[in-house]
Every structure is written in C-alpha cells, then in structure tokens.
Copies of this chain bind each other. A is one copy, B any other.
C-alpha cells in the first residue's frame, strides 16, 4: 500500500467517526475467546446443533458455549431455533448481520497470514 492510499483511508474513516468508535464496538462483540471459533464453524456449516457445534469448536465447555451463544443471539448475529420435542433439538443459524462478518473475517485472515509469515522469518 502506498502512502497516499493509506492517508486517504485514514482520513475517510476519521471523517465518518461517530462519538463511539465502531471498530472498538465490533471488537467488544466478537473479541471474547470463543466468538470467532463459533461463528467460523457456523459460517462453514450453518444450522448446527449444540453438541455438534461443541465438537466442531473443540475444547470449549458447556458454560462458555452456552454463554457465547446467548450473547451472539442477544447481539443479533445468530438465531436459536428449537422445536419443542423431547429430547430437545436446537439449531443455531447465522443472521444476515452474522453472515456479513465474513468480509471482516476475510481481512483478519489475510492480515493474520501476512503477519504470521513475517514472524516466521
């Protein structure tokens, strides 16, 4: 990226900046330990069941999975669908807002890879 492009982008963002910082706001929503792993698994395979999701994410406890799913639901990134059967069957689905995150993740992916390559040298 040349210096001009960098400065233009910085200025563009700064002009649009509200009182709250949208960047920090995003981080507060997806920044806790398990949010990205959960959302990523839902991006790859939407509509998963609780226990399947738990196996896919790997290493997460019930406490944290439940807590994270509730927060994601409250923030409007996923929807919880339960049919009322016994034994229960619950699936989790991305909302449009949740799916939009794939753009952000793409940038985080590319930058992370670049950084990782730099750190390997």
Residues of A in contact with B (beta carbons under 8 Å apart) = 1, 6, 9-10, 13-14, 16, 18, 20-27, 29, 31, 36-37, 40, 43-44, 75-76, 96-97, 99-116, 118-119
Q: When the two chains form the complex, which single residue of B18, B24, B103, B111 contacts A111, counting CB atoms closer than 8 Å?
A: B103
Alpha-carbon distance A119/B9, docked complex (angstroms): 26
Total copies of the chain: 2
Q: Which residue of B lies closest to A24 (CB)?
A: B36
Instruction: Give chain B residues whose Cβ lies under 8 Å from the Cβ of A105.
Output: 13, 23
Tell me, rounded to whole Å, the shortest Cβ–Cβ distance linking A27 to chain B.
Answer: 6
* Contacts beyond the supplied A1-B100, A22-B116: 17 A-B pairs with Cβ under 8 Å: A6-B99, A9-B102, A10-B44, A13-B102, A16-B113, A21-B37, A21-B40, A24-B37, A25-B112, A25-B115, A26-B111, A27-B36, A97-B115, A100-B114, A103-B107, A103-B110, A104-B108
Name the CB-closest residue of B to A11.
B44
Establish whether residues B23 and A36, one from each chain, have CB atoms under 8 Å apart when the complex forms.
Answer: yes
Which residues of chain B come closer than 8 Å to A26, judged between CB atoms? 108-109, 111-112, 115
Closest A-B pairs by Cβ, 5 of them:
A22-B112, A26-B112, A104-B107, A25-B112, A26-B108
